[in-house]
Structure 1
């Protein structure tokens, strides 16, 4: 029986709770032709950090099989993403986020400015697109599976000379005035010696940002149950779901030794955060901008944890399903999704059993013949991953090879759906992300 849009959205919501995909991926709508004068509406920028095309290929294999299609696959608009910086060929998380937020190509070591120099947005506004949206009466939400200081969201509201100024960045984010913020990072909200829900604070200025946020009228939530129990009248919500990130970004062997899960079990998944943020922001009379980042795809890639990378990717795809369902009911909304770099440069190796050492149930070699590290289900020397069934019912094995523990200039795509998604086409520079978002929020610049 064909599922309705509502039942598909329910499937996406259920997948959000489980951190998995809907059993039937959402059906994407055809992209609208690019108008001369862009229609205006809401914008959702979904950023699975570090997830290049190779990562999405692996996610497809483990979730729906090589012949299946993920929610990301079904997005109708596609462009090739160019992520180089002003002074580097490979994008950085903080430089890339700054370019997305301002529409200006900056130095790689930039956080909300160009190195040490303040910048204006490409529109001429003295601030980021998020700050311009708030100044023009739109609601802004930031969703982050990492800590609040992570640049994929923080660079939209914070500017600093140093990426590692975690105390300062968290303060700037807390002072930003965004009505919805969901992330981790409690340790930088609380002063040293103050015990929070997840551990002791680390601030050196004596400020308690949790209490300051409460005094400003925010509802504070700390678990997925508290997030789910928000009243429908909530308009200003601040979620803090972990001491640092909502995931444990270490390699497989370290996680096993310390008996740690990939993700903090009390924290909401990326899809649950996105769904909650959309429920709040969609009530804003002037429209909204939502910037949402799954940071686990980047951090697990940078420690060469293939199992963590794939889990983070599944969670990102579940969130894309939730967003696509939202756009099906709210067609005046654009979603763009991309990554600014390729974390660890993951590659899938899936030769026939016996031809390259990828045999089901048999431990992999520690390295490929050229020296590249190999990962299986439990990490180094683990057994191969097994893909979901293909169209013939076969479940084929594969290994993950890593080129680096750094970010790489891999194959990144911009994908999209909804209002003005026809503008996502051809080859797009990283600065063009801002321009498409700006046209959709405010009309042609």
Structure 2
């Protein structure tokens, strides 16, 4: 069954998900109109480039000097087709996303210790610690032994550290970098461990931290008082983030599910983009003369994949790509920063076909509402980025980072320090 303009600008996210489920039951194929997804019509795709005209160039390879800073971008659920469909929507077949212009590309195997198809906790644990673990375990190996993460090692080396996510701060991906729990759903333990980890910056939906400290998922005086006693500044808006010079801060930006381009995470009274938050976070962390490690996660690309909503995935991935551009701009200027973009797994088995040029309709299909076991893309920019070329395992990522920044082989340490 085909349906033009399936994702209307008006109407509810839930209704869209129900319609997607109905279409999937009837064969899964429907038509996505690319043109109306665009926010800026000046980017509208009007066909292929004229013969002889070059596609947008790749960013340059930088000399292999010392690396002081590392920015790891993770788009949860992002596969190659999600990247391609986002490019087609915003820039056309001959355009490029910022992440596609990064000069080094690779492919990453994502299986977990107990399943050929991973999920976010196990996938992030592999990228953080260099160890495979069972699905739904975070920061520990299958025997429940805590393992040191690349973030923890860089923190202990004197560097600033931070994490940004468009979902709960205690969700699987951030948890795997700074907490150690046998089950990802133990969110209050994760919240306590994240606070004890003493990251300089932790931004996302902080409801579990508020619940842990004050007994309510809403902002409450007791939680704010205890955060202050622990030395954390509390912010809940982009304006507050821009004003803050605090050495340690917790940012509470509530989730907002949206059909619009921006894919925002916001506070009660203000909208903030992932790109703006990333830009300001880099400014704050880069004040440490020893360098920094920053992990930035876009979770909506996974949520949209589970719901089989291509427009939602596209819009969230575009917002993620805008944040990647902030990291690239900083790395281009400083010459000492490694930027890596990848995913923990692909979600939905996205495919598309029958998109004649210059028509703006493509037929989109999904294989599942779950994760898939396909390899995911990796893009790298900065000194020593070439080490990320080719096919690798997700456990190779933190090991390569450690070697590039001159750290010890932390994955050979027996267990993580208590935090």
Shorter-chain TM-score: which interval?
Answer: 0.7 to 0.9
SS at match of 2:178: coil
Q: Which residue of 1 aligns with 2:188?
A: 167
- Separation of aligned partners in 1, 2:157 and 2:396: 21
- Separation of aligned partners in 2, 1:74 and 1:403: 29
Note the residue ranges of structure 1 that are not aligned, 5 or more in a row: 1-17, 121-126, 202-206, 256-260, 353-389
Does 1:321 find its partner at 2:340? no
Q: Which residue of 2 aligns with 1:181?
A: 202
Q: Which residue of 2 aligns with 1:369?
A: none
Q: Which residue of 2 aligns with 1:273?
A: 277
CA shift, 1:32, in A, is 4.9
Map 1:104-143 to 2 at 5 A.
Answer: 104-120=131-147, 127-143=148-164
Is the 2:106–2:377 contact (alpha carbons within 8 Å) kept by the matching residues of 1? yes
SS at match of 1:439: helix
CA shift, 1:237, in A, is 2.2
Is the 1:20–1:315 contact (alpha carbons within 8 Å) kept by the matching residues of 2? no
Structure whose residues are more often helix by fraction: 2
Map 1:46-85 to 2 at 5 A.
Answer: 46-85=73-112
- Kindly provide the CA deviation profile for residues 141-181 of structure 1, in whole angstroms up to 9, marking residues without a partner as x: 11111111112122111011111112221222122100111
Q: Which residue of 1 aligns with 2:391?
A: 427
- Separation of aligned partners in 2, 1:21 and 1:148: 34
CA shift, 1:443, in A, is 4.8
Residue from 234, 248, 252 that aligns with 1:240: 252
TM-score (norm 1): 0.73
Is the 2:68–2:290 contact (alpha carbons within 8 Å) kept by the matching residues of 1? no
- Separation of aligned partners in 1, 2:281 and 2:257: 23
Does 1:213 find its partner at 2:227? yes
SS at match of 2:234: strand
Query: Which stretch of structure 1 is more off in the superposition, 154-163 or 207-216?
Result: 207-216
Q: Which residue of 2 aligns with 1:357?
A: none
- Separation of aligned partners in 1, 2:217 and 2:144: 37
Change (3 A) 1:29 1:306: closer
Q: Which residue of 1 aligns with 2:9?
A: none
- Separation of aligned partners in 2, 1:113 and 1:269: 32
- Separation of aligned partners in 2, 1:22 and 1:327: 27
How many pairs does the alignment contain? 357
Note the residue ranges of structure 2 that are not aligned, 5 or more in a row: 1-37, 45-54, 410-419
Is the 1:338–1:413 contact (alpha carbons within 8 Å) kept by the matching residues of 2? yes
CA shift, 1:216, in A, is 2.6
- Separation of aligned partners in 2, 1:149 and 1:19: 32
Q: Which residue of 1 aligns with 2:173?
A: 152
